[in-house]
Chains A and B, each alone.
Chain A
Amino acid sequence: MLAIEIENLKKTYKGGLNALKGINLTVPDGGFFGLLGPNGAGKSTTIGIICSLIQKTSGTCNIFGHNIDTELEEAKRHLGVVPQEFNFNIFEKCIQTVINQAGYYGVPAHIAEKRANQLFKDLGLWEKRNTIAHALSGGMKRRLMIARALVHQPRLLILDEPTAGVDISLRRHMWEFLEQQNRNGLTIILTTHYLEEAEQLCKNIAIIDKGNIIENDSTPELLKKLKSETVCLTPETPLPNNFQLDGFKSRIASDGDLEVELSSDISITELLATLNALGIVVSRMSNKANRLEELFLRLVEGPSNA
Chain B
Amino acid sequence: MLKIQLVGLITLVRKETTRIFRIWSQTILPPVITTTLYFLVFGNFIGNRIGELDGVSYMQFIVPGLIMMGILVNSFMNVVSTVFSAKFMRQIEEVLVSPMANSVILLGYASGGIIRGCIVGVAIAIISLLFEPLQIQHPVLVAVTIILTATLFSLLGFLNALFARKFDDITIIPTFVLTPLTYLGGVFYSISLLPDFWKKVSLFNPILYLINLFRYGFLGISDVPIARSLIGLLVLTIAVWFIVLSLLKKGKGLRN
Contacts and interface: CB of A to CB of B under 8 A. Distances in A.
B99 interface: yes
A12 B54 CA distance: 62
A264 B119 CA distance: 75
Contacts of A83: 90, 93
B97 interface: yes
A146 interface: no
B256 A55 contact: yes
Contacts of B90: 83, 85, 87
A141 to B, nearest CB: 13
A108 B93 contact: no
Interface string B72-115: 00000000000000000111011111111100000000000000
Interface in A91-108: 100-101, 103-108
Contacts of A108: 7
A105 B99 CA distance: 6
A104 B12 CA distance: 8
B97 A81 contact: yes
Contact of B11 (A14, A55, A104): A104
Contacts of A194: none
Given A88-B91, A89-B91, A106 B3 contact: yes
Contact of B255 (A52, A76, A103): A52
A47 B193 CA distance: 62
A47 to B, nearest CB: 10
Contact of A101 (B94, B101, B251): B94
Nearest to A51: B97
Which of B93, B97, B250 has the most chain A CB within a 10 Å cutoff? B97
Say what secondary structure dominates the interface of chain A.
loop
A13 interface: yes
A296 B86 CA distance: 37
A76 B91 contact: no
Nearest to A99: B11
Interface residues of B, number: 28
Which of B3, B5, B255 has the most chain A CB within a 10 Å cutoff? B255
Nearest to A49: B255
Interface string B239-256: 000000000001100011
A301 interface: no
B2 to A, nearest CB: 9
B69 to A, nearest CB: 29
A109 B7 CA distance: 9
Contacts of A54: 255-256
Given A55-B255, A73-B1, A108-B7, A88 B96 contact: no
Nearest to A91: B22
A295 to B, nearest CB: 32
Interface in A32-71: 51-55
Interface string A75-88: 01101010101011
A163 to B, nearest CB: 20
Given A51-B96, A73-B1, 8 more contacts: A54-B256, A103-B8, A103-B11, A104-B8, A104-B12, A105-B8, A108-B7, A109-B11
8 contacts: A52-B97, A73-B4, A73-B100, A77-B99, A81-B97, A87-B93, A100-B11, A106-B4
Interface of B: 1, 3-8, 10-12, 14-15, 89-91, 93-101, 250-251, 255-256
